[in-house]
Amino acid sequence: MSSRTRVAVVFGGRSEEHSISCISAGSVIAALDPERYDVVPVGIARDGRWVLEAADPDRLALGPAGELPSVSGTTEVTLTPGQGLVVTEPRDVPTLLGEVDVVFPVMHGPWGQDGTLQGLLEMAGVRYVGAGVTSSAVGTDKHFMKQVFLAAGLPVLPYVLVRPRQWEHDPALVREAVAALGYPVFVKPARAGSSFGISRVDAPAGLDDAVEEARRHDPKVLVEAAAPSGARELEIGVLQGLAGDAPETSVAAEITVHGDHVFYDFEAKYLEESYVLPAEVDDEVLGRMRELAVRAFEALDVEGLARVDFFCLDDGQLLLNEVETMPGFTATSMFPLMWQHTGLDYPALVERLVQLALQRSTGLR
């Protein structure tokens, strides 16, 4: 019996963040120690098929001119309880790829980060990295996430929820509720990411178009009061403690958006370097960030890891923007960079997450 651990890195998927997931997965695959781990790269194509991918991190990298990678394997596989990964296509050669000790779902957005994949893994009894079913689902839905934060007494910006039925039958009521919130506002799909579908709206005349734009990504939309001008965007990493220890926090980072960007949009996130690390914040603010980040982590029952994002107002007040249960994980993403500055480099971070996943069972816990 080999003592090596078989890790299936699952990535891609049906969400709009398919390519970002591929880039994150390429970095994770490159970091998994080949002495200890057998890596099985499993891509989920944009149409939902599960396929074997080459363990070639270069193929999954962002191209020199910003070309985005995608899943392109042709050997179809399925996850079968008790058997692990099984080749299903081509059908003439049924091949058992073997039991998987742990799955590393490097997935962003719906159908991957939102509890759906986690549910499948629970059903199959396979251990996996990161948040469980409910926290993944709540963390992906900006509406339910805020509800949980509010119930836990955590500070968030006020917002109006726009359900499809309300927008289709009584948009005037929505416009009124948004006017009461006060402009400017941010209009967002409830369950997207990477800033897809988000717009800042400065006056009522722009609301309808922004809602329609958000609805192209998700029928459920949030309209949120903009953070007061001058607010800074700060982020921090949280890691579950090993062996039942309390969660740990990283150093903080500040997002700095400049040039043509009105906010931290897709290009600013992935194609430009727009951050200060470690953030220049005084110890008192950092201390409150750490405390609120752990409270948010625990309010959502997150396991494994999370990036917690804040707005920091002029007077030092902190408001929670969101918790990411599978934050961007490319070698240049904020979450790994914050941990690197805290003393945990990328391979050590990946190792820690796999160990945390192996320590816990599936099922109710």
Ligand X SMILES: Nc1ncnc2c1ncn2[C@@H]1O[C@H](COP(=O)(O)OP(=O)(O)O)[C@@H](O)[C@H]1O
- By the 8 A CB rule, do 357 and 121 touch? no
Residue 322 within binding range of ligand X, rule CB under 6 A: yes
CB of 84 to ligand X, least distance (A): 33
Residue number with CB closer to ligand X (281 or 356): 281
Residue 321 within binding range of ligand X, rule CB under 6 A: yes
Give the integer Cα–Cα distance in Å for 98 and 282. Answer: 51
Residue 226 within binding range of ligand X, rule CB under 6 A: yes
- List the one residue out of 16, 4, 13, 6 whose CA is nearest residue 192: 16
Beta strand 84-89 with 76-80: parallel, antiparallel or unpaired?
antiparallel
CB of 251 to ligand X, least distance (A): 19
CB of 70 to ligand X, least distance (A): 20
Residue 198 within binding range of ligand X, rule CB under 6 A: yes
Residue number with CB closer to ligand X (235 or 303): 235
Structure tokens at 88: 């299903």
Give the integer Cα–Cα distance in Å for 10 and 124. Answer: 15
Residue 270 within binding range of ligand X, rule CB under 6 A: no
Report in angstroms the alpha-carbon separations of 275 from 80, 132, 330: 43, 30, 15
CB of 246 to ligand X, least distance (A): 26
Of the candidate residues 104, 128, 186, 339, the single one contacting ligand X (CB under 6 A): 186
CB of 104 to ligand X, least distance (A): 21
| Interface mask toward ligand X for 102-141; x: CB under 6 A | ----------------------------------------
Residue 325 within binding range of ligand X, rule CB under 6 A: no
Report in angstroms the alpha-carbon separations of 164 from 30, 50, 221, 288: 42, 31, 8, 37
What is the DSSP-derived secondary structure letter of residue 240?
P
Residue 157 within binding range of ligand X, rule CB under 6 A: yes
Of the candidate residues 37, 104, 167, 264, the single one contacting ligand X (CB under 6 A): 264
- List the one residue out of 249, 256, 257 whose CA is nearest residue 286: 249
122 alpha carbon, distance to own chain's centre: 19
Closest residue to ligand X, judged by C-beta, is 264
- By the 8 A CB rule, do 220 and 163 touch? yes
Give the integer Cα–Cα distance in Å for 356 and 303. Answer: 9
Residue number with CB closer to ligand X (26 or 193): 193
Give the integer Cα–Cα distance in Å for 356 and 359. Answer: 5
Q: Which stretch binds ligand X (CB under 6 A): 43-51, 95-103, 186-194, 291-299?
A: 186-194
List interacting residues with ligand X (CB under 6 A).
Answer: 157, 186, 188, 192-195, 198, 224, 226-227, 233, 263-264, 309, 321-322
